[in-house]
Amino acid sequence: MVHPSVAAPVTPARRHYIADSLARVDGLQEFLSIHFGLPDGDGWRRCSDMLADPGSFDSWRTSLGERLKAEYGSAPDRTTAGYVMSWYLSVPAYLAGWLFHHERRVPSVRPEHLAFHLDHGQHRPIGVALLAPEFACLPSDPAAGTPNVTVVPDEHALAALLRGRFAAHATRFVDTFGPTVRFGRRTLWGAATDALDTSLWLAGRLAGEVGPAAADASLVLPDAMDPFTSASTLRPNGTPEWTRRRESCCFRYLVAPDSVCGTCPRSCPKG
């Protein structure tokens, strides 16, 4: 758990641009509350604290397992590990994906610059907070040239920066979480690929911009660029909606055999 006093003070002048961006994207969605600075209240966890203590993931899985046992009667290790893996990776991916798609800004997603709020009932993230004012943007951005802002030449460079910053955070997670579970590198990085691709998809879908979101996903994940396991798998499915094929499995089917995700790699063919 973290406390507001841990974060460095941020003056109104320093927080203006990124705080406004976060407020705008927060108003477009309801999956995770999005904040600048650490809100008051319990349940907030700094990502760097989690990654410094592998046991915190074990505790998270134990609490989740108790909920799954109450709901389904069982809580296989692969299911609790799959849920926690996907949920944690969604924190940096979601924030970065929404800011990239709607604002053409890429924040710092270093573990010490992110915190998330864990719901005590469902044991899943319900909020994310950015704790640093730094971000990158394009030359046309009104924030270009102001303190804490890095300007990159074009959208390809901005997409590469997003991909690199997320990969750096995901690497820390894989190195910490990987030894605690029976997942190989392919599964762990498949989940990271899913988190990034899905976040860009949601950023457009919830705003009625699926086509542009798919273009952004292809810009960020144009190929299977190591350590990611594939290019974006977003594609039309014959209706106004789009779909994608997951690279990893959440193992929900182990507790709910009749509940199959539409994007599950066990049932959704490649291509």
Bridge partners, 235 (sequence order)? 243
pLDDT at 129: 98
d(CA 40, CA 9): 14
- The residues near 51 (Cβ < 8 Å, ≥ 6 apart) are 111, 172, 173, 176
The domain ranges of the chain are 4-254
Q: CB 231: neighbour CB atoms within 10 A?
A: 16
d(CA 46, CA 39): 12
- The residues near 75 (Cβ < 8 Å, ≥ 6 apart) are 64, 65, 66, 68, 69, 255
pLDDT at 104: 98
pTM > 0.85: yes
To the nearest 10°, report the CA torsion of 44, 200, 194, 148: -50
Q: CB 127: neighbour CB atoms within 10 A?
A: 20
d(CA 228, CA 238): 27
pLDDT at 214: 92
CATH number of the structural domain 4-254:
1.10.510.40
Question: How does strand 44-46 pair with strand 105-107?
Answer: unpaired
d(CA 172, CA 48): 9
d(CA 20, CA 142): 12
pLDDT at 239: 63
Q: Are 244 and 186 in contact (CB under 8 A)?
A: no
Q: Which stretches in the chain have pLDDT values below 70? A: 1-15, 238-240, 258-271
